[in-house]
Chains A and B, each alone.
Chain A
Amino acid sequence: MINKKVKSVQEALAGIEDGMTIMLGGFGLCGIPENSIAELVKKDVTNLTCISNNAGVDDFGLGLLLQKRQIKKMISSYVGENAEFERQMLSGELEVELTPQGTLAEKCRAAQAGIPAFFTPAGFGTEVAEGKESREFNGKMHILEHAYKADFAIVKAWKGDEAGNLIFKGTARNFNAPMAGAGKITIAEVEELLPVGSLDPNQIHIPGILVQRIFKGEKFEKRIEQRTVRKK
């Protein structure tokens, strides 16, 4: 067993510097690496390019980094939940690359899988296709999209073991699975960090080979963005 365990979030995030490109898992606030984000705020690294489906809300998730102007460029598919984001974007302080969600996921997966580029029909005929090569396959137009290149990928899982194997829960798997192994270094923060042998190999979603550092998050708030319920 190759041990990937690190003792603290500080140790896990060692080497993240100003100007780097970082992928962060999560959909909305579901499955975001909240302990790592809190540490990035403390670390005060700036000029970051962040690849993340969403940008958090004003006071949680990546919204915390936006408030401190630590992000230079955001690559996302949907940013509607964050007023500060919209303000920085419309004023030109923040560079934004809006990408169709399936394309964003596949650009991560392509990086994870060692595929430099792929064709997708998403965005053909729209401003997303501007400047991109297009080609017809089976009578349908597609555009060429490239794999992301990131210095770090930070993902959040439910359970992990010291070998870096990961298991996700519910819809918190989202972008965490395709981002694992998609950066030069992948950091996993988990709710439960178990000794090797505790997880059934049949149930592993991401094998430890894709993870370089794993740590147990100190505290998970797991904030709910839209609490919708029905009466008993």
Chain B
Amino acid sequence: MLGKEEIAKRIAKEVKDGYYVNLGIGIPTLVANYVRTDISVEFQSENGVLGMGPFPFEGEEDADIINAGKQTITTLPGASFFDSAFSFGMIRSQHVDLTILGAMEVAENGDIANWKIPGKMVKGMGGAMDLVASAENIIVAMMHVNKAGESKILKRCTLPLTGVGCVKKVVTELAVMEVTPKGFKLLERAPGVSVEHIIASTEAELIIEGEIPEMKIG
């Protein structure tokens, strides 16, 4: 079973040379730490920056330079700033190659829910609805089951949707799955996790073809 850092490590392998990437809050933010250093990648934050760098050194924080998680950041050579309308323009026009975000639920038809639990948690969708409606390549980083042990990989989402038919790939503590027109296809399993364990933890049907390899992390 993978920890959050290992999920981020596995997703980092999906980041290719020349990609502009938008990272959501939580596990997706960690992905930046594990992208190969021999490729060229730029991170976009929807509040208006391309070319994000690491957190600033202590004492060098600037209140005017933050990411979408409201964290103080730095920029790398070649970075640029722009306004929010412009930022979502480049997202809508599909100039951002890869979007990595978290979810509360995903379904076998590619639907995703991650912004609202009616009556309990209403924080808002932020930029998630714009991102999932426009991005061609969406990878979801999430936990396979909730604290009560119930599957979050579903036939149909039960929570209010963020987007429909948009998720392409899901990486959890147990597995890597691809969303195909026929449903979730199991691609890889976490080290030491059996296919049976994954099936038992998944409410949706899984398409399983041949031997399922273990994920390679690191």
Chain A residues in contact with chain B, CB under 8 A? Answer: 27-31, 53, 76-81, 86, 89-90, 96, 98, 100-106, 108-109, 120-128, 158, 168-178, 205, 222-232
Contact = CB atoms under 8 A, between A and B. Distances in A.
Given A78-B125, A224-B61, A226-B71, A173 B55 contact: no
A30 B64 contact: yes
B9 to A, nearest CB: 19
A89 B120 CA distance: 11
Contact of B84 (A27, A229, A230): A27
A132 B163 CA distance: 16
B48 A171 contact: yes
8 residue pairs, one from A and one from B, having the closest CB atoms: A102-B88, A80-B123, A102-B130, A125-B164, A177-B83, A170-B64, A100-B129, A222-B63
B66 A173 contact: no
A53 B160 CA distance: 21
B160 A126 contact: yes
B55 to A, nearest CB: 5
Contact of B92 (A108, A121, A173, A231): A121
A81 to B, nearest CB: 8
B215 interface: no
A49 B166 CA distance: 34
Nearest to B134: A121
B109 to A, nearest CB: 11
Most chain B C-beta atoms within 10 Å of own C-beta, residue among A90, A126, A176, A223? A126
Dominant SS at the B interface?
A: loop
A110 to B, nearest CB: 9
Nearest to A100: B129
Given A53-B84, A224-B63, A227-B72, A101 B126 contact: yes
A8 to B, nearest CB: 24
Nearest to A225: B70
B83 A178 contact: yes
Bin the interface of chain B by size.
35 or more
Given A98-B124, A124-B133, A229-B61, A170 B92 contact: no
24 contacts: A27-B66, A27-B68, A28-B47, A30-B66, A98-B122, A100-B128, A103-B129, A125-B163, A125-B165, A169-B64, A170-B65, A171-B47, A173-B83, A174-B83, A205-B83, A223-B63, A225-B66, A226-B69, A228-B56, A228-B71, A229-B58, A229-B72, A230-B54, A230-B56
Interface string B110-131: 0100000001001111111110
Given A100-B130, A174-B48, A79 B63 contact: no
Contacts of B54: 230
B46 to A, nearest CB: 7
Contacts of B125: 77-78, 98, 100-101, 128
B49 interface: yes
A129 B134 CA distance: 16
Interface in B23-72: 45-49, 54-72
B20 interface: no
Contacts of B63: 29-30, 222-224
Contacts of A175: 83-84
A122 B127 CA distance: 9
